[in-house]
Structures are given as structure tokens and as C-alpha cells.
Amino acid sequence: MNFCFPSFHVPLTSITVVDFILRLINAVKYHLYTAILFTWTDYKTVFFPITVFACATAPARSCSSLLWCCVWVWFHQLMCNVSNQVCGRKEDKINHPWRPFPSGRVSESQALVIRWATVACCISLSSMYEPELIHTTLGLVIVTLAHDELGGGNNVVGKSLCSAAAYVCFEFGATTIIGVMDFVSVTAVIISGILAFTAVHAQDFPDVEGDKTTGRMTFPIYAPELSRFFTLFVTIAWSVFLSWFWEVGPISTTLFASFGIYVGLRYYFWRTSEADRRSYLTFNVWLMAAHVLPLHARTSVLAF
């Protein structure tokens, strides 16, 4: 027996190992892709703006703190997005059918497991970096609970409040990881929270059709005309205020304010859902610029 099996046995084992590794790689690829699908819409609204904000507000101490910041923001965005999408499956069937839940990539029974697994992931991540950060994570968990499970996101004011609170948590966490929370950082975070409160509805314009079908009340649905006008007002007012507050130079002010006016006018005059999708993209570029202004308080780079 011993005599004839070895030659047969050895290749069999190595095939099993190779096969196992290939399956493992495929599984990792599959789940990574799922995670990217969950977070896809919000790289422009969360991941990049928050990271850029943190770097501009509390210039990075080291490459490793920047890396930590990116990982931390990404996992927390994933947590918020999973929670949001577990509760928003109906709207997503219409607005975003390719997302993991509506497309059937992730089943109903897996949804809750993933929802709480991402929470556990974020808590461990924060505790690994600095136990204090756990408070920020818990803050975000509470905000997502209020927004999604408790239905705070279903009315106009609740949604804006939750989003603003979420931004504050994200920025607080990211800035703490990157550098220090001194007067400039704290001021920048507070201002950005108020800005988020007044402007988050910009994201609801492209989704009006889907939200109407599911009965989700957003500012653009509640007040179609006023919400357009308000967006115009808000982008202009914030452009002027932020340039003044951070004391950037005349050319920077002109550039930033013109861009804000352009974004506001786009929203006001171009009202198809395709135009709204593009307006939202330009809005995010403007928002990113708004988040870079605190850099001036550190380095005077925008004095021209």
C-alpha cells in the first residue's frame, strides 16, 4: 500500500493547496468588490473630502498617520454605507440597482451580520490606534442608528442634522489621527459641520424620482423651487464667508467664489436629473475646495 500511494498522494495535496489559494484569492476579490460597491457613491462625498480636510487642517505628521487616516475613514465610511443601504433597499432598487443588496449580491440574512460586523471592525480599528478614538466611532454608530434604524433620515431636518453630525465625527477622527486638535482644527470642524447641515440636500436632487416612489421625504421633493434657490444662496454665501473667515487672498477669493456661484447657478437653472448628477459632482469639487481653505491658517499658501 505504502508503496504505490505516495506518488499519487503528493500531487493531489499540492493541487488541493493551489486550489485552496486560488479560491481564497477569488473570495477576497469577490468581497473586496462588494465592499467597493457599498462605498462607490461616496468616495467623492466622504473618503476624499474628509482625508483632504484632515491633511489641510492638521498637516500630516507622517506617512503612517496618513495611511492610518485613510484606512480609518474607509472602514467608517463602509460601516455607514452598509447601515444606510440595509435600511434603504427599496429606494436603491430604483436609484442604484447595482448596489450589493438590490442586485442580490448580498442576501437579506447576510445584511444584518455585515451591518454589525462593520461596527465591530471600526471599534477594533479605533482601539488599535488610540482608545480615545473609540468615542468617535461610537458617535458615528449612534448617528447611523438615528439616521437609519430609527428613521431620523426620513425627514428633511433629521437627515441634515444626522449628516452634519456624521461629518463632524469623521472629521474629528481623521484630524485626530493625522495631527492635532488645536484651535484651528476645532474651528474648521465646527464650520464644516454647519456647512454640511445647510448643504447636504445637494445630494438629493439627482435621486428625486426614486425617493418619490418610495415616499422618502427630502428637501428637493418637499420644496422643489425653494430648495433650488436655497442651494444657490448657500453656495454663494458660504464661498464669501469662508474666504473672509480664513482670510485668503483676493485671487483665491475670486476663484473660489466664482466656482461657488457657478455651482449654485447650475443647480438653479439646470433641472434634469442628468444635469443634477453633474451638478452634484461639481458641488463636491467645490466642497473639497472649501475644506482646503483652513490650510491657509497654517501655511499662508492662499495669500495671493
Ligand X SMILES: *[C@@H]1O[C@H](CO)[C@@H](O)[C@H](O)[C@H]1NC(C)=O
Binding site for ligand X (CB under 6 A): 41-42, 46, 77, 80-81, 84-85, 163, 166
Smallest separation, CB 163 to ligand X (Å):
6
* Smaller CB separation from ligand X, 145 or 255: 145
Instruction: Report the nearest approach of ligand X to the CB of residue 2 (Å).
Output: 60
Amino acid letter at 29?
K
C-alpha cell at 240: 464669501
> Which amino acid would we find at residue 251?
I
Is 189 within 8 Å of 175 (Cβ atoms)? yes
3 vs 23: CA distance, rounded Å: 32
CB of 78 to ligand X, least distance (A): 8
Nearest of 258, 251, 207 to residue 236 by alpha carbon: 258
* Residues counted in the chain: 304
Q: Considering only CA atoms, which of 54, 16, 278, 31 is closest in space to residue 178? A: 54
Identify which of residues 91 and 292 has a Cβ nearer to ligand X in the complex: 91
Among residues 210 and 256, whose Cβ is nearest to ligand X?
210
Q: Tell me how far, at minimum, the Cβ of 55 lies from ligand X, in Å.
A: 19
| CA distance readout (Å), 153 to 147, 171, 201 | 4, 20, 11
Cβ nearer to ligand X, comparing 166 with 297 = 166
CA distance 138 to 119: 9
Closer of 84 and 231 to ligand X (Cβ): 84
Look up residue 67 and give its DSSP letter: H
Which lies closer to ligand X via its Cβ, residue 84 or residue 284? Answer: 84
CB-nearer residue toward ligand X: 166 or 293 = 166
Q: Are 53 and 291 in contact (CB under 8 A)?
A: yes
Q: Which lies closer to ligand X via its Cβ, residue 42 or residue 276?
A: 42
CB of 23 to ligand X, least distance (A): 30
Which three three-digit cell numbers place residue 64? Answer: 503612517
Distance CA 268, CA 260 (A): 12
**Phi-psi region at 215: left, alpha or beta (left = phi > 0; alpha = psi -120 to 50):** left
> Which CB atom, from 37 or from 263, has the smaller least distance to ligand X?
37
Beta-carbon-side half-sphere exposure of residue 251 (alpha carbons within 13 Å): 4
The burial of 16, by beta-carbon neighbours within 10 Å (0-12 exposed, 13-18 middle, 19 or more buried), is given as exposed
| Terminal C-alpha separation, the chain | 86
Rounded distance between C-alpha atoms, residue 115 and residue 164, angstroms? 21
